[in-house]
Amino acid sequence: MTSQDNSRTPRGDSASTRLAYVLTGVVLVALGLVAVLVLSAGADPVTGKPAANTKPAKLSSLVESTTHTRLDRAPRDPRPQQATEGWIVRPTKVIAIHDAPGGRTFGKVGPKQIGETWLPVIAQRDQWTQVLLPSKPNGSTGWLRSAHLKREYTPYLIRVHLSSMRLELFFEGREMNSWTIGIGKPDTPTPIGRTFILGSIVDPNQRYSPIILPLGAHSDTLDSFGGGPGTVAIHTWPTTDVLGTASSNGCIRVPREALNQLTKVPLGTLVLVDQG
């Protein structure tokens, strides 16, 4: 008998024996799968720490962070007046948003909403990235797994000063231009804090601005406005008399020349609104 002969299944095996082999294999594979599931649910694969929630996040049950939604469990922006290094990220697929690196999930975010989703990076820790979110309430942040993010850089920064009603556009840290603007009325003020350019839209239902730049912020006093969620935006206005006045419902009204420049600014660019 050759060694090749030894490796063959004996012709004399009964059907029941073969069935026993198959069943044993199935049981072993099933046990392996169970072990993997238990391990992945019980510990964070990046930090190795026990996950706060013992079940993997079900994306379908999570609310997506958009300008239309509200995620009250989102951590607040810890430094609402601080400029960033200019990094912006875009989820490569719909992913869960966590309240801390390896922490609990409270929402999800995908690569598209108004247009492409680009979010400003405000912190990095290990394999996690903290971003500003477009959903309510203002100043919402969340932690995303860096592995699922495309990363780019914006050299721009927009600063809005409410008291002086000025908007400044910075490029690589240098002020390029500034304009007198219109801001929200005292009863519908433009919200203060750190937000970002969420989109660039042509709205066929609006005639006051050729392009509107919705921000990641919402009016603090209007839950909804005109059928929308109260999204604050940068746009022009048909007349220039609104510039230098507090006359809007929260939006930032800019001269046409300013809009021409601001529409070249990448999505995700930081907008810092202060009282100054």
Partner 1 sequence: MRPRALAGAGATALGAVTAIAALVIGTTAGHAETVPSSAYGIAAEGPVPIEPMPYVESTDGSRQENSAFTLPENPLVSLEVAKVVAEEEAASAELLNLGLVPGAELPEQLSSLDEPLQQLMSGLEPACQADNPAAAVNEAIGDVLPGQIVDQLDPEQLCASITAGETPALVSIELVKVACDATSGSVEIANVAMLGQQVQIPPLEEETPILPENPLVTITANKQTTNDDGSFTVVGLEIDLGDGTEVITLGSATCGFSEPDEPEKPTAPPPTPVTTGLPVTG
d(CA 250, CA 215): 11
> Which of 32, 45, 155, 276: binder of partner 1 (CB under 8 A)?
155
- Chosen residue from 140, 154, 195, 236 binding partner 1 by CB under 8 A: 154
- CA angle 134–138–139, rounded 5-degree value: 85
Question: What's the min distance (Å) between Cβ of 180 and partner 1?
Answer: 18
Residue 255 interacts with partner 1 (CB under 8 A): yes or no: no
Return the residue of 57, 64, 67, 259 that touches partner 1, per CB under 8 A. Answer: 67
Phi, psi at residue 155, to the nearest 5°?
Answer: -80, 0
Residue 44 beta carbon to partner 1: minimum distance, rounded to whole angstroms: 29
Q: Between residue 9 and residue 38, which ones bind partner 1 under the rule CB under 8 A?
A: none
Beta strands in 8-135 (DSSP E): 87-91, 95-98, 105-109, 119-125, 128-132
Q: Does the protein bind partner 1 through residue 118 (CB under 8 A)?
A: yes
Q: Which helix (H) or strand (E) holds 21?
A: helix 15-42
Q: Which of 251, 259, 271, 272 binds partner 1 (CB under 8 A)?
A: 251
| Site for partner 1 contains 227 (CB under 8 A) | yes
Is residue 263 a contact residue for partner 1 (CB under 8 A)?
yes
Rounded to whole angstroms, the Cα distance separating 214 from 229 reads 11
Active site residues: 235, 251
Q: Which of 99, 116, 168, 274 binds partner 1 (CB under 8 A)?
A: 116
Contact 101, 125 (CB under 8 A): yes
Can you say whether the dihedral through the CA atoms of 99, 105, 106, 107 is positive or negative?
Answer: positive
| CB 120, min distance to partner 1, A | 11
Beta-sheet pairing, 270-274 with 156-161: parallel
Q: Does 232 bind partner 1 (CB under 8 A)?
A: yes
Sign of dihedral through CA atoms 92, 95, 98, 104? Answer: negative
Largest Cα span, the chain = 102
Q: Which of residues 183-222 bind partner 1 (CB under 8 A)?
A: 184, 188, 197, 199-206, 208, 211-212, 214, 219, 222
Q: Under the rule (CB under 8 A), what is the footprint of partner 1?
A: 67, 86, 88, 114-116, 118, 151-155, 184, 188, 197, 199-206, 208, 211-212, 214, 219, 222, 225-228, 230-233, 235, 248-251, 263-268
